[in-house]
Chain A
Amino acid sequence: MDFIDWDFIVSRAPLFWAAAKLTVKLAVGGILLAAALGFLCAVARFYRIPVFNQIAYFYIELARNTPLMVQLFFLYFGLPRLGLVWEGQTCAIVGLTFLGGAYMAEAFRGGLAAINRNQVESALSIGLSRIQTLRYVIAPQALAVAWPAISATVIFLMKETSVFSIVALPDLMYVAKDLLKEGHSGETNLLLILSYLTIILPVSLFFGRMERRLRFAGFGS
Chain B
Amino acid sequence: MSLGPDILKIKDLKKNFGSLAVLKGLTLTVRQGEVLVIIGPSGCGKSTLLRCLNGLEPVQGGQIIFGGQYLTDPHINWSRTRQRIGMVFQNYELFPHLTALDNVLLGLIRVQKRSKTEALAIAERWLTRVGLWDRRGSFPRQLSGGQKQRVAIVRALALEPEIMLFDEVTASLDPEMVREVLDVIVNLAKDGRTMLIVTHEMAFAKAVADRVIFMDEGLIVEDAKPEVFFENPATERARRFLNIFQFSDIHKPQEPSASPLAKEAQDVKESNDAKESNDAKDSKEPELS
Contact = CB atoms under 8 A, between A and B. Distances in A.
Whether chain B is bound by chain A comes out as yes
Given A127-B107, A141-B96, A219-B96, A118 B148 contact: no
How many chain A residues sit at the interface, stated as a range, is 20 to 34
A120 to B, nearest CB: 9
Interface in A131-172: 132, 136-137, 140-141, 144
A213 to B, nearest CB: 13
A65 interface: no
B140 A127 contact: no
Given A125-B54, A127-B111, A221 B78 contact: no
Interface stretch (B32-40, B86-94, B116-124, B255-263): B86-94
Contacts of B94: 122, 221
Contact of B79 (A118, A121, A128): A128
Nearest to B143: A221
Interface string B62-79: 000000000000000011
B59 interface: no
A75 to B, nearest CB: 40
A121 B93 contact: yes
Contacts of B79: 127-129
B159 interface: yes
Interface residues of B, number: 31
Contacts of A221: 92-94, 96, 140-141, 148
A127 B89 contact: no
Interface string A89-129: 00000000000000000000000000010110111111111
B97 interface: yes
Contact of A127 (B82, B97, B152): B82
A220 B89 CA distance: 18
Given A127-B111, A129-B79, A118 B96 contact: no
B54 A119 contact: no
Given A219-B96, A221-B96, A126 B89 contact: no
Given A125-B54, A220-B141, A119 B110 contact: no
B84 to A, nearest CB: 9
A218 interface: yes
B155 A121 contact: no
A124 B82 contact: yes
Interface in B79-135: 79-80, 82-83, 86-87, 89, 91-97, 106-107, 110-112
Contacts of B96: 141, 219-221
A6 B89 CA distance: 69
A218 B140 CA distance: 10
B91 A118 contact: yes
Contact of B111 (A122, A126, A218): A126
Nearest to A115: B96
Interface of A: 116, 118-119, 121-129, 132, 136-137, 140-141, 144, 217-221
21 contacts: A118-B91, A122-B89, A124-B56, A126-B83, A126-B111, A127-B80, A127-B107, A127-B111, A127-B112, A127-B159, A128-B110, A129-B79, A132-B111, A136-B110, A137-B95, A141-B95, A141-B97, A218-B141, A219-B141, A220-B141, A221-B93
